[in-house]
Amino acid sequence: MSNKKKYSMLASTAAVAFILAACGNGDNGDTTDGNGVDDNGASEEEVDDVDGDDNGNDEAASDEPQPIEFETRVENEGEPIDGGTMSIGYVSDSPFTGIFSWELYSGNPDAIVMGYTMGTLIGSDENFQFDDSGAATVDVDQDTNVVTITLQDGVLWHDGEQVTADDIAFTHEIIGHPDYPGVRYSSDMQNIIGMEAYKAGEADSIEGITVVDDLTLEIEYESVGVQMLQAGGGIWSYAAPRHYLEDIPVSELESAPEIRENPIGFGPFKVDNIVPGESVSYSRFEDYYRGTPNIERLELETVPSSTAVAAMENHQFDLFLSMPTDQYENFENIPGYTVLGRGENAYTYIGFKLGEWVTEGDDIDQPQNVPNPDAKMANKNLRQAMAYAMDNDAVGARFYQGLRSRATSPIIPNFADYHADDLEGYPYDPERAMELLDEAGYEDTNGDGWRETPEGEELVINFASMSGGDVAEPISEYYMQSWRNIGLNVQLLDGRLHEFNSFYDRVEADDPNIDIYQGAWGTGTDPTPDGLYSRYAPFNYTRWASEENDAFMEDMLSEEGFDTEWRAEVFRDWQEYFMEELPIIPTLFRNEVFPVNNRVGAYDIGFGVDPDTDGAGIHTWYLIDEDRATE
Amino acid sequence: MWKTIIRRLLLMIPQILILSILIFIIADFMPGDPFTGMIDPNLDPAQLEAQRQAFGLNDPLPVRYVRWVGDALQGDFGRSFNYQQPVVAVIGGRMGNTIRLSLMSIILTYAIGLPLGILAGRYNESVLDKSILVYNFVSFAVPIFVLALLMVWIFGYNLNWFPSRGSVSINANTTWEIWTSRLYHLLLPSITTAILGTTSIIQYLRSEIIDAKVSDYVKTARSKGVPIQKVYTKHIFRNASLPIASGFGFTVVSLFMGSIFIEQIFSYRGMGFLFLQSINTRDYSVIFVLVLFYGFLGLIGTLISDLTLMAVDPRIRID
C-alpha cells in the first residue's frame, strides 16, 4: 500500500457513534464448531482454561485478560474456484475523495482505494526497508549521493504501455511543478539537486534527475542518509504515466477525468466503475507483471463504523479493512470469519508540556523547541511517578479487550530491529510512584490531601484529552483517578474532553493551560523519530529538547548509520535515555484487526512477506467457494 | 402577484447578505482549519503556511469576506480543501442524490398523510381514527435518528429487504439498472422520512375536517341533497387543505434539512452527508455555500407557501 512517510495524529472519529452491533449479538453465542481454520478464535477462552488448570495460584494477575496474540495468516482448505468476485468493506466515516494519483491525494481513504490499482515501485521487508520484492530496485550510493532506481522489464500500465524510467521522472516533475496544488512537495523533494530551481520556474528540467535508459533512473540528492533505505524515508517510490497525463496542465490534473474517472496504474486491478465516495469496482489486469490475478473482480465499499459489525453479521464482505477495534467483543466470534491481527504503526501517549516553540529570538538561528526548566512538569521524578501510577496493562486488557498493550518505548515493536524489547517501561507500581514524589519533595504540606510542589505551592495539573469513541471518557477518568491516588491533583482541562481540531490547535500553540495531554501518533514506515522528538521538530509538542537527545538524533541520521547494527544500537540507547527522561509516557501499543471470510483461500497480513506467497500479494488471492461462508 | 414575487425576491438579497456575514463570523470561531489535521513531518511548516496563505486563510475576516463575495458574484464559490475540487462541483455531485431523496420523501409523505388525515377526520372517534392518532403521536414523539436506526437494523440488516447504505449499486451499468438501483436505495430512507413527516398533515387535516363537518355550508349542501361523497371531495377537502397548502413550502424545506440525519445514518451521499463531513474537516468553503443554500431554501420555502395559499384560496391576497 502506501509507502509515504507520514505521522498522523490519530483520533477516533465517531461522528455518529450508534452501534447496531450490540443489539444483534445475542444470536451467535456458542456456535463455535471446528469448521475451517479457527485457531485464533478467542484468547479469552484460553485464559479461562488456564484458570481451570492452575492449582490454587491466586495471583490477581492470572484473572487479568492478557494481550491477544493474533495470527497474521489464514489458510482455508478447498479447491480454488475460477475467478470470482471478492468484496471488501472499508470501514471509514470519511468517504474517499476519489483522487487516483499518488502525487495529488491527501487522505488515507484515497490511499486505500488506490492501493489495488495504482501500484508502487519498490517492495519492502518486515522492517519496512526497501528490498528486491517490487517492480523496481533501489540503490543508494552514499559517496556520490546518487540514488539509482532500476525497473524490471515488462511492467505495464493498464493501457499496455511499458512503465519506464521517464515515468518516474514525470512523477517528480508533477510535484516539483510551479503550479502543483498538492501537499507532497516536501523537504525530501527539495533535497533533489535542482528541484528548487525547477519549482521556482527557473529551470525547464530537474537537474539532478537523469533518465539513463528506459529502465534506469538516477537521482542526485544534496545529501543521502540511511533513512532513505526506508520505505517513505525520502525516496519517492511511485511512477506516473507520462503518455497518459502529459497533455493536462498540472494545475488542472486533480479535476481531470484521467485522474478521477479513468485512472490507470500498473497495479493488479483496473478501475471499472466509481460511485464517488461510496464504492469502486475493479477488474483484473491480465498483464500484471507478477502474473494474472486469480480473482476476476474486486468490489470495495466504504462502510460507516456504526454499522460495520452488522455488515459483518450479514456476511456482506469477504474482507474488512480498518475494522473498529473498540467493538472487538461484538465481532470476534462471528461465524464465517477468521479475525487476523497485527501491530498497528501507532502508539498512544501522555505528553508533558515542557517548553515552547520559538520561531525567532536572539540566540536561535532557526525555529526550535525551547524547554523551560521551570515548567510545572519539568521535574523528572514527577513525570516518572505519574507513569508508575498508571496501570496500562489493565487499560489494554479491560478497556480494549486485550487489543492494546502497555507501551514500553516510543519505537513500536513493528520496527523489529530498532524496538528495544529489553526495556521494561513503567509497569503499575503506585508505591514506587509515591517514593519518587517524596524523594523530589512533592509532599502534602498543608493537609488538604494533595501534594504541593517542593517550593510549597499548590500543584494543580491540567490534563487535556480528546473526545471520540466510547472509551475516551472512562479512560481519562481512570487515569486521573490513578494520579489522584498518589496525591496529585489532576483536573480535566476546562472540565471536559476536547474535539480533535480544537485539541490539537491548543496543544500545537503551547496553550499555557495545558500541562499534560493524551495524544497518539501514527508512525508511518520510517522508525527514525527525528520528526517527532528532535529539537527542530514542530511536531515535538512537548517542546522537550536536550543536548544528549540532539546527539542521538545526529547519530541516527549520520553516515555511520548505514551500518544497521550500529544504528540499532543507537536506537536502543536512545530509547533507554528517552524512557528515563520521559518527556512523554508511551502508554499503549495497538493492534489492528482484519476479519476475513472463510471462503477466502489464503490471506496474509504479515509485513515484508514475499508478495508472491499465497494470500500476500493481491494477485495471489483466491476464493474456494461461490458463496460467502456463514459458519 | 408578479409584483409581490419580485419584491420578495429582491428582499432576499439583503437577507442572504446578512446570513452570509453571520456564517462567516460564526465559522471563524470554529477551532482549527483545514490543515490542522494534516501532520506530516516531511512537510515543512512553511509549506503548510504557504498553503494557508494561498487559500487566504491568514487574512483578516473582512478581507476574506469581501473577497469571497466578489468571487461568488462571478460564480466562483471557492475550492473545497477536502475534495480538492471547486465547491460547485462537489455540491453539484451530491445535489442529485438529495433532490431525489427529497422528492421521493415528499411524494410518500403526502401519499401517507393525506388519506390518513381524511379518513381520521371523516370517521372520527372510530377505531380507525384512534389507531391513526396513536400512529401520529408515536411518529411525533420518535426522533428521526432513532427510527432511522431501527429501520436500517430491521429492514436493512435483519430482513435484508433493502440495501442498508449507499445511493446506487456498484454493479449497475446500464441506465435502466442505475435508475432502478437508485430507486431501490431510496425507498428505505424516504419511507423513514415520510413516516415522521406526516404528523402535522394528519393533524391539521383531521381537525379541519371535523370542524367542517358541522359547519353551516356542509349542512346546507347536505340539505340540498348533495351526496356525502361529493360534499367531502368538493367542499370539505378543499377548505380543510388550506393549512396544508400553506405548510407545503416549509415541508419541502424541512425535508431537505432533515436529510442531514437521514443521509448520515443511511450513508447516503447527498448534501446533508457532505455538510456534516465538511464541518468535521473544517472545509469552510463547502460549509458556507451549504448554509447559504439552506438559508436560501428557507426563504424560497416561505415564498412558495404564500403563493400556494394564494392559489388555493382566492380570498387571500398578499401584497
Range A347-589 has CATH code 3.10.20.600: no
Would you call A531 and B41 a contact, using CB atoms and an 8 Å cutoff? yes
Dist. CA A561–CA A567, nearest whole Å: 5
pTM of the entire structure?
0.82
Closest-CA residue to A422 (of A588, A568, A587, A583): A568
The beta-carbon neighbor of B41 closest among A7, A95, A254 is A7
A392 pLDDT above the threshold of 80? yes
Residue A20 to residue B149, Cβ atoms within 8 A: yes
ipTM over 0.85: no
Nearest CA in chain B to A304: B267
Touching B: A residues 346-385, CB under 8 Å? 367
Joined together, the cell numbers standing for residue B252 give 419541502
| Contact assignment for A279 to B265 by CB distance below 8 Å | no
| Any A CB within 8 A of B134 CB | no
Is B37 within 8 Å of A278 when comparing Cβ atoms? no
Q: Are A400 and A326 in contact (CB under 8 A)?
A: yes
pLDDT at A41: 30
Between A and B, how many residue pairs show a Cβ–Cβ distance under 8 A? 141
Cβ contact B303:B249 at 8 Å: yes
- Provide the pLDDT confidence category of residue A48 given band limits of 50, 70 and 90: very low
| pLDDT of A341 above 90 | yes
Cα separations (Å) of A516 from A32, A452, A506, A512, A579?
45, 17, 12, 10, 17
Q: Is the pLDDT of residue A50 over 70?
A: no
Measuring CA to CA, which residue among A244, A242, A243 is closest to residue A261? A244
Q: What is the mean pLDDT of chain A?
A: 85
Check CB contact of A502 with chain B, cutoff 8 Å: yes
Q: What share of chain A is helix, strand, coil (3-state, %, to 5)?
A: 30, 20, 50
Structure confidence at residue B26 (pLDDT): 83
- Top CATH class, A136-254: alpha beta
What are the phi and psi torsion angles at A575 (to 5°)?
Answer: -60, -40
B9 touches chain A (CB under 8 A): no
Chain B residues inside the 8 Å CB shell of A188:
42
B269 contact residues in A (CB cutoff 8 A): 95, 276-278
Greater pLDDT, B84 or A53: B84
Reading phi first (left if > 0) and then psi (alpha if -120 to 50, else beta), residue A119 is in left
Contact A181/B at CB under 8 A: yes
Residue B220, pLDDT score: 85
pLDDT at A516: 95
Which pLDDT score is estimated for A211?
95
For A425-480, write each residue's pLDDT tens digit. 999 999 999 999 999 999 998 888 899 999 888 999 999 998 877 788 899 999 99
Nearest CA in chain A to B42: A186
**Residues of A in Cβ contact (< 8 Å) with B47:** 183, 185-186
Model pLDDT, residue A88: 95
Task: Output A33 or A126, whichever has higher pLDDT.
Answer: A126
Question: Mind telling me how many Å the CA of B23 is from chain A's nearest CA?
Answer: 19
35-74 in chain B: CB under 8 A from chain A:
36-45, 47, 51
Sequence letter at residue A97:
T
Return per-residue pLDDT of chain B as tens, 319 residues.
Answer: 778 788 888 888 898 889 888 888 887 777 666 666 555 544 556 666 777 777 777 778 888 888 888 888 887 888 887 788 888 888 888 888 888 998 899 899 989 998 999 899 888 889 999 999 999 999 989 988 899 889 988 998 888 898 888 888 888 888 888 898 999 999 999 999 888 888 888 988 888 888 888 888 888 888 888 888 888 877 788 777 777 777 778 777 777 777 888 888 888 888 888 998 888 877 888 888 888 888 888 888 888 888 877 777 777 665 5
Residue of B nearest to A19 (CA): B149
Residues in chain B: 319
Structural domain boundaries in chain A = 136-254, 347-589
B245 or A144: which leads in pLDDT: A144
pLDDT (mean) for A385-391: 95
What is the maximum alpha-carbon separation in chain B? 88
Q: Is B128 on the interface with A (CB under 8 A)?
A: no
- For A25, the closest chain B residue by CA position comes to B158
List chain B residues with CB under 8 Å of A281: 170-171
Q: For residue A553, what pLDDT is reported?
A: 92
* Interface touch A183/B269, C-beta < 8 Å: no
Q: Report pLDDT for B317.
A: 65
pLDDT band of residue A58 (cuts 50, 70, 90) is very low
- CB-CB contact of A74 with A337 (8 Å): no
Please give the pLDDT value at position A37.
Answer: 31
Q: Which tens digit of pLDDT belongs to each residue from A278-325?
A: 899 999 999 999 999 999 999 999 998 888 998 999 999 999 999 988
- Distance (Å, whole) CA A515 – CA A505: 15
- What is the C-alpha separation between B73 and B229, in angstroms, rounded? 55
**Residues A602, A624: Cα–Cα separation, whole Å:** 9
Angle in degrees, CA A587, A592, A598, rounded to 5: 155
Q: Across the interface, which of B41, B160, B165 has its CB nearest the CB of A304?
A: B165
